[in-house]
Each structure stands twice: as structure tokens, then as C-alpha cells.
Amino acid sequence: MRNEEDLHTLTGAYALHALGREELTAFTAHLAQCASCRQEVAEFGGTTARLAAAVSTAPPPRMKDAVLHGIDSVRQLPPRLPADERPRTVSGVLRRKAGPLALAASLVAAASFGGLAVWQHQQTEEAQQRAQGTELRMRDLTSVLAAPDARTVHGRTSTGAVTSVVSSQRQDKAVFVGTGLPEPGPGRTYQLWYDDHGTMRPAGLVDSDGATLLQGDLRKASGVGLTLEPAGGSPQPTTAPLMLLALPA
Amino acid sequence: MDADASRRTARHHRAPRGVGRREGAPVRQPLPFAAPDGGGSRLEDLMAQVARGDKDAFSALYDALAGTVFGIVVKVVRDRAQSEEVAQEVMIDLWRQASRYRPEQGSVPAWAATLAHRRAVDRVRSAQASANREYDQAAREHQRPFDEVAEQVETRLESEQVRRCMRGLTELQRQAVTLAYYQGLTYREVAETLRAPLPTIKTRMRDGLIRLRDCMGVTT
Ligand SMILES: [Zn+2]
């Protein structure tokens, strides 16, 4: 396994989006707990932005029309809300939605907010950042559930837990909802995966029942999988999937 | 892997580069973040308005960022039609995610450029994965020596500051940064292309960016 020393040197490749998937996973986890790498990455972001500006090219005028037209049908992520309003807002969103969302909605409503799964790397961040991060994911989560094009698929894990995946192509995100997931056991965690037509892409960790926004974009994923992994997760699945749900085409 | 095969792997299996800039006249307006009069905070204000759903503000934001976004996407993706598609997605994503923007994490143009570069790279890598074998032959026919590619990249830079700072890099730093950022290669591909060990490339990317950062006076 690579040591921390090596990981510090990946800031450059990371800022250039030049890391392969495996290194990206390892470095992203490192980034969450390394303030000096975060600082360096931010500075490199300012640096690469100038490299981008140096090749600035006027787009065809029709692109602006297309974009301005395009945003008419795109729901913005809602603004930040005071902490005490969050649950009410979410249930409000859920109440307005019916049909294919009903089951997922009731599952989400049943899951307490305390049980809302958060990503593992979050644990290492400062309290304030943690709160903000949770809020951001919350916002994404509600916006997926409320998306006009949201689709829901249901299934059971091999251990009998009821699972649903709500996905929105337009939001390019998916939400996993689990009920009745047994304790993963000491030193283990549940891990979500996007199934990119046979290639599993890590999509975040789940430790208990509730609704979890999948980490990363949906893109052209054909399904969502769940496996049991060593604590901290794995770059690739190391056990057979407990569940593999095909997403609506 | 023989030298030819490794070079082939590292090259692009993409549509050949379009001829020059058709719609793409060089953009010579001042860079948004180079504005001496706090242009950065103007963009932050615009972003805050956009986050509240203000479409006029978004139109102004579009005008400020579209050149940078389209420019870097075209540089990486090359194919004009695909680039337009990707750049549109990026601009729409800026609208969608406006409320997520945090000034303390970087300037608005830096955020937009990062989103744009990420999407561009994703596009070429997914296209590469699916088309690798099919277009291998075609790609080889269009392949040019990397130093020629890097040379062209440099002469096309519109910013005097960036050109000057690029000249301050060692050859290996410049090529590592350029191949990754403008050509969208992974660092493994860069290592193969330059026939240098992986740890060396990793390090050159980092110290190359450090040197650029200091030369440009970037603070965040
Ligand atoms: Zn570090």
C-alpha cells in the first residue's frame, strides 16, 4: 500500500485531472484529512484556471441561446436553509411527490435524519465543514427525489433488506434508500457502486438504514450495486454484490 | 510493451483536430480574474444572484465565462460538435450548482474551469474506452510526435503571462503539465508518452504547477 508521503505528491496530477480511478479514490480520501494538500489543490485550481483562460475561445453564438433555453428546464439546487427547517423542507418536497416516488418517499420519511448516511471521509473533517457537507448532500438528495424525471427501482438484498434507487438523468445523480440493512459488523461497511456496464465505480459508503446520495455522477451507469467491504471502502468490489439493481434505460 | 505500442496507448483515439479556429477567433478581452478592479468579486456577486435564480445575472455570467469554458473543452475534446455539447453541459451545470459555489474555495473562473476540464476529460476518456480498438488505426495515422503537439499548444496560448511562465518550466515539467492539462492524458499516459518513470511524472506535475503558481502569483 502506498504511504502518506506518496499521496502528498499527487496534488499536481489531481489538479490536472490526470489520476486514474484507483489513485483518485485513495487521494480523495487523503485530501479529506490533509489540510496542506487541500490548500495546494486550491492554489493549483487557480493556476490551471489561467491555463484554461490562455486558450479561451469564443463559442458559436448559438451556444448561448441553447444554454439560456436549456436552463429553463433545469432545477437549481435550492439555497441553503437554516438547520431547523431542513426536515420540514424535505418532507414538504416528498409530500408533493407521488407515484413512482411513493415508496422511496415513505422510506426516506421513515428514516430519521440522524440515520442519514454520510460519507466516510466526512468523519475526518472539521465540525463546521461536516455540517455544510451534509447540507449540500441533503440539498442534492432532495433535488434528486423531487426531479421531474426521477425514476425509482426496488429490490431486496440477498440478506432481505428492502432497497430502492431513485435516479434522475437530468440531475445526473442517484439516491439509495435502504431499510432493514443488518449491521455491517466490526471493521466492515456497506459500499455503493455505479455499474458502468460491467465496470464498478465507487459511489460512497453506507453504514445504516436511510437515504444516501450516491457519490459521483450517474453518467451512463446501467445499474447500482451494494457490497460489504472493509471499513473505509475499496477501490473495487472485494465481495459478491448483496444487491445489483438495473437502472431504467 | 514495446515503445510503439506504449506511444499508441498514450496517444489519442479521437477525432482529428479541427482546422484552426473556425468560430474561434482568439478572445483578447482581459481575463476575468486579471481585472485589477476587483473583477473577481463582481463575478462572485453575479454567482450569488444566479444562485437565487436570476437569469439576467446568469446571462452576464455566461458572457464572462463561456470563452474560458469553451476554450479548454475544445482544447481537450478537439471535436467541435462534441465540445459544444460538453461546454453547454458545463454552463448549465454552473446554473444548477450555483448555490454550491464557495468563494473561499477558489475564484468563480477557477471553479468553472475545473468543472469544464473535468467534464472534457471525462468525455474523452469514456470515448477512448469505447472506441479504443476501433479507431486505433485511424488514430495512429493522425498521430504526430508529442513535441510537435506541445509546441503548437504553446504558440497558441493567448496569455502573455502564461506563455512567459511556461517558458520558466523545465522541459519535462512543461510537457507533463501540458500533456495532462491540454491533451487530457492521465499521468500514466504522460509517463508512457515521455518514457519517464511514473514517480518522476507525478513529481514534475506537482513542481511544474508550483512553479507556474508562483510565477503567476496565484494565492488560491
Ligand atoms: Zn497531503
pLDDT digits (tens, 9 = 90+) for A138-167: 667 767 776 777 777 777 777 777 777 888
Q: Assess whether A36 and A100 both reside in one domain.
A: no
Nearest-by-Cβ selection for B88 from A20, A67, A139: A67
How distant is the Cα of B206 from the closest Cα of chain A, in angstroms?
4
Q: What DSSP character marks residue A57?
A: B
Inter-chain CB proximity A54 and B190 less than 8 Å:
no
Instruction: Collapse the DSSP code of A179 into the 3-class scheme (helix H, G, I; strand E, B; otherwise coil) and give the result.
Output: strand
Mutation target vs B (from A3, A34, A55, A143; most B CBs, 10 A cutoff): A55
Instruction: Please report which helix (H) or strand (E) contains residue B153, including its range.
Output: helix B146-156
Q: Assess whether A131 and A245 both reside in one domain.
A: yes
A83 domain residue, yes or no: no
Q: What DSSP character marks residue B31?
A: P
Residue pair A30/A121 in contact (Cβ under 8 Å)? The answer is no
Q: Assess whether A99 and A159 both reside in one domain.
A: yes
Stretch A30-47: mean pLDDT: 91
Residue pair A226/A242 in contact (Cβ under 8 Å)? The answer is yes
Which pLDDT score is estimated for B169? Answer: 97
Reading the block at residue A4, the C-alpha cell is 502518506
Residue pair A222/A247 in contact (Cβ under 8 Å)? The answer is yes
Residue B126, chain A, CB below 8 Å: the answer is yes
A77 domain residue, yes or no: no
Residue B149, chain A, CB below 8 Å: the answer is no
C-alpha closest to that of A191 among A234, A157, A154: A234
Q: Which residues, 6+ apart, have CB-to-CB distance to B70 below 8 Å?
A: A56, A57, A58, A59, A63, B24, B83, B84, B87
Mutation target vs A (from B47, B95, B193; most A CBs, 10 A cutoff): B95
Q: Assess whether A29 and A139 both reside in one domain.
A: no
How distant is the Cα of B17 from the closest Cα of chain A, in angstroms?
15
Nearest-by-Cβ selection for B107 from A9, A46, A75: A46
Stretch A76-80: mean pLDDT: 70
What is the domain extent for residue A122? 88-249
CA of B67 to the centre of ligand 1 (A): 33
Inter-chain CB proximity B96 and A67 less than 8 Å:
no
Residue B17, chain A, CB below 8 Å: the answer is no
A36 domain residue, yes or no: yes
State the Cα–Cα distance between residues A65 and B95, nearest whole angstrom.
Answer: 14
Find residue A58's DSSP bridge partners. Answer: none
Stretch A173-195: mean pLDDT: 81
Q: Assess whether A107 and A179 both reside in one domain.
A: yes
State the Cα–Cα distance between residues B27 and B10, nearest whole angstrom.
Answer: 31
Reading the block at residue A124, the C-alpha cell is 475526518
Domains of chain B, start order = 37-135 (1.10.1740.10), 148-220 (1.10.10.10)
Q: Which of residues 156-215 of B touch A (CB under 8 A)?
A: 156-159, 161-163, 177, 180-182, 184-188, 190, 199, 201-210, 212-213
C-alpha closest to that of A111 among A83, A93, A91: A91
Nearest-by-Cβ selection for B84 from A46, A60, A75: A60
Q: Assess whether A101 and A47 both reside in one domain.
A: no
Q: Assess whether A240 and A119 both reside in one domain.
A: yes
First to last CA, chain A: 38
**Between residues B36 and A75, the one the model is more confident about:** A75
Mean pLDDT lowest among A63-77, B11-25, B56-70: B11-25
> Which residues of chain A does B96 touch, with a Cβ-Cβ cutoff of 8 Å?
71, 74-77, 171
Neighbours of ion ligand 1 (CB under 5 A): A 8, 34, 37
Highest mean pLDDT among A28-42, A44-58, A106-120: A44-58
The domain total for chain A is 2
State the Cα–Cα distance between residues B123 and A241, nearest whole angstrom.
Answer: 28
A73 domain residue, yes or no: no
CA of B22 to the centre of ligand 1 (A): 43
Mean pLDDT lowest among A217-221, B92-96, B155-159, B211-215: B155-159
Q: Assess whether A102 and A223 both reside in one domain.
A: yes
Inter-chain CB proximity B87 and A49 less than 8 Å:
no
How distant is the Cα of A48 from the closest Cα of chain B, in angstroms?
8
Find residue A193's DSSP bridge partners. Answer: A202, A225
Stretch B5-33: mean pLDDT: 39
Which pLDDT score is estimated for B38? Answer: 44
A62 domain residue, yes or no: no
Inter-chain CB proximity B107 and A11 less than 8 Å:
no
- pLDDT higher than 60, residue B9: no
How distant is the Cα of A6 from the closest Cα of chain B, in angstroms?
9
A153 domain residue, yes or no: yes
**Widest pairwise Cα distance in chain B:** 56
State the Cα–Cα distance between residues A11 and A33, nearest whole angstrom.
Answer: 13
Q: Assess whether A149 and A233 both reside in one domain.
A: yes
Q: Which residue of B has its CA nearest to A50?
A: B162
Mean model confidence pLDDT for chain B: 77
Inter-chain CB proximity A13 and B72 less than 8 Å:
no
Q: Which pTM value belongs to this model?
A: 0.57
**Between residues A168 and A96, the one the model is more confident about:** A168
Residue pair B220/B106 in contact (Cβ under 8 Å)? The answer is yes
**Between residues A134 and A171, the one the model is more confident about:** A171
Residue pair A43/B213 in contact (Cβ under 8 Å)? The answer is yes
Q: Assess whether A106 and A11 both reside in one domain.
A: no
Place of cell 444566479: B50
How many CA atoms does the CB half-sphere of B196 hold within 13 Å?
17
**Between residues A237 and B90, the one the model is more confident about:** B90
Stretch A7-36: mean pLDDT: 90
Stretch B6-27: mean pLDDT: 39
Q: Which residues, 6+ apart, have CB-to-CB distance to B4 below 8 Å?
A: none
Q: What is the pLDDT of residues B132-163, one digit of tens each?
A: 534 443 444 444 444 444 444 444 566 788 99
- AA letter at A55: V
A96 domain residue, yes or no: yes
Q: Assess whether A157 and A216 both reside in one domain.
A: yes
Exposed/middle/buried for residue B66 (C-beta within 10 Å: 0-12, 13-18, 19+): buried
Q: What is the pLDDT of residues A115-124, one digit of tens each?
A: 222 222 222 3
Which pLDDT score is estimated for A90? Answer: 38
State the Cα–Cα distance between residues B104 and A225, nearest whole angstrom.
Answer: 35
* DSSP count for chain B of H helices, then E strands: 11, 0
A8 domain residue, yes or no: yes
Residue pair A66/B88 in contact (Cβ under 8 Å)? The answer is yes
